[in-house]
């Protein structure tokens, strides 16, 4: 999907950061009460570039939630509910010595849900002096680069998504990282089917919709039968020419379209704290 020209009603600036996807948005303070035209322009930039970034922002919890609500209802993640005051907020924290971090494999968020989140807004509260970047991959381009034969093979298929690799009492993730998930005995897995090739509801474009964190197999096939083709798609979907890389600073925001991108947190800031605040959009 190529970059598009400006179609903006107000004076935000949009500067692409890579050829595949990603743009930095300037001339806007997202903590303000933004008017409808500005919100529309930000949404247009998101649709055009799949992930957009803001620098030098200051967001408390209420302003973070308010900005998120401008684009849809707040999504409450079922695996991060511990009776906290703000169930819509997820804190993504990395401490020195963590063996694992949240989001370190390529994925789209929470795809085991019947209706996965439309997007997410991640705000940097504390970042390491170097490292801790996030990579994003354009799944429009991943689909477009497939052969005609592969497209025909994939379009009738559905994949089984569930969250047994990321939560529940049978994992030991909470012993290895600061970001905690539910692992209590009352936890139950969530599982749903999604098409392998989806049509974006706003752009009308086809894109791949598989990821190695949540997808276990194709519907109607065993895991062993599914794995060779899934492995090919996982490698293909994140080819370097489909990606961009974002280096965080304190006060930075990343806002990604969860429907047509994958992302990955780079686990290379071993001696430093990385503390982020996230909302998701239903």
Q: Which of 107, 161, 182, 274 is catalytic?
A: 107
pLDDT at 82: 67
Domain membership flag for residue 267: yes
- Name the residue range of residue 157's domain: 74-249+258-281
Domain membership flag for residue 101: yes
**Cα–Cα distance measured from residue 72 to residue 279, given in angstroms and rounded to the nearest whole number:** 11
Domain membership flag for residue 56: no
In this model, does residue 8 exceed pLDDT 60? no
The CATH number given to whatever domain includes residue 179 is: 3.60.130.10
* Count of domains forming the chain: 1
Tens of pLDDT along 242-274?
A: 999 999 999 999 999 999 999 999 989 888 989
**Cα–Cα distance measured from residue 262 to residue 237, given in angstroms and rounded to the nearest whole number:** 8
Q: Which of 43, 49, 64, 278 is catalytic?
A: 278
Rounded to two decimals, the pTM is: 0.92
Confidence band of 140 (pLDDT split at 50, 70, 90):
very high
Tens of pLDDT along 198-238?
A: 999 999 999 999 999 999 999 999 999 999 999 999 999 99
Our answer to whether residue 200 is catalytic in this structure is no
β strands within the chain, DSSP E: 13-16, 23-26, 51-54, 74-75, 90-94, 119-126, 134-138, 158-162, 191-195, 197-199, 206-208, 215-218, 243-246, 253-257, 261-265, 274-281
Q: Which of 77, 194, 200, 263 is catalytic?
A: 263
Q: Which of 41, 48, 98, 109 is catalytic?
A: 109
Our answer to whether residue 161 is catalytic in this structure is no
In this model, does residue 5 exceed pLDDT 50? no
Confidence band of 177 (pLDDT split at 50, 70, 90):
low
Mean pLDDT of all residues belonging to the chain: 92
**Cα–Cα distance measured from residue 218 to residue 17, given in angstroms and rounded to the nearest whole number:** 35
Domain membership flag for residue 37: no
Tens of pLDDT along 126-137?
A: 999 999 999 999
Domain membership flag for residue 135: yes
In this model, does residue 1 exceed pLDDT 70? no
Q: Is there a contact between 144 and 1 (Cβ–Cβ < 8 Å)? A: yes
Domain membership flag for residue 187: yes
Measured from the Cβ of residue 114, the count of other Cβ atoms closer than 10 Å reads: 10
- Encoding tokens for residue 109? 């968020």
Domain membership flag for residue 147: yes
In this model, does residue 13 exceed pLDDT 80? yes
Our answer to whether residue 107 is catalytic in this structure is yes
Domain membership flag for residue 10: no
Enumerate the H helices of 223-264 as residue ranges. 223-237
């Amino acid at each position: 999907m190529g970059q598009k020209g400006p179609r903006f009603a107000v004076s935000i600036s949009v500067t692409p950061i890579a050829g595949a996807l990603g743009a930095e948005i300037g001339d806007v303070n997202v903590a303000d009460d933004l008017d409808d035209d500005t919100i529309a322009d930000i949404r247009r930039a998101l649709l055009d570039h799949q992930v957009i970034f803001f620098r030098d922002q200051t967001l408390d919890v209420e302003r973070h939630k308010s900005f998120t609500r401008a684009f849809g209802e707040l999504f409450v993640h079922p695996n991060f509910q511990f009776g906290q005051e703000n169930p819509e907020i997820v804190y993504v924290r990395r401490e020195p010595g963590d063996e694992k971090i949240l989001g370190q494999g390529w994925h789209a968020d929470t795809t085991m849900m019947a209706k996965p989140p439309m997007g997410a807004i991640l705000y940097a509260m504390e970042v390491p002096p170097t490292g801790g970047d996030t990579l994003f991959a354009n799944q429009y381009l991943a689909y477009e680069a497939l052969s005609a034969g592969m497209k025909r093979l994939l379009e009738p298929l559905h994949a089984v998504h569930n969250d047994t690799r990321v939560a529940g009492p049978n994992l030991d993730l909470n012993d290895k990282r600061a970001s905690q998930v539910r692992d209590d005995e009352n936890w139950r897995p969530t599982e749903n089917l999604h098409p392998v090739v989806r049509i974006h509801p706003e752009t009308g474009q086809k894109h791949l919709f598989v990821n190695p964190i949540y997808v276990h197999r194709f519907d109607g096939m065993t895991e062993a039968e599914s794995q060779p083709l899934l492995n090919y798609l996982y490698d293909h979907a994140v080819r370097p020419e489909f990606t961009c890389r974002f280096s965080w600073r304190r006060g930075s925001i990343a806002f990604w379209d969860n429907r047509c991108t994958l992302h990955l947190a780079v686990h290379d800031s071993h001696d430093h704290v990385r503390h982020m605040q996230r909302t998701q959009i239903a």
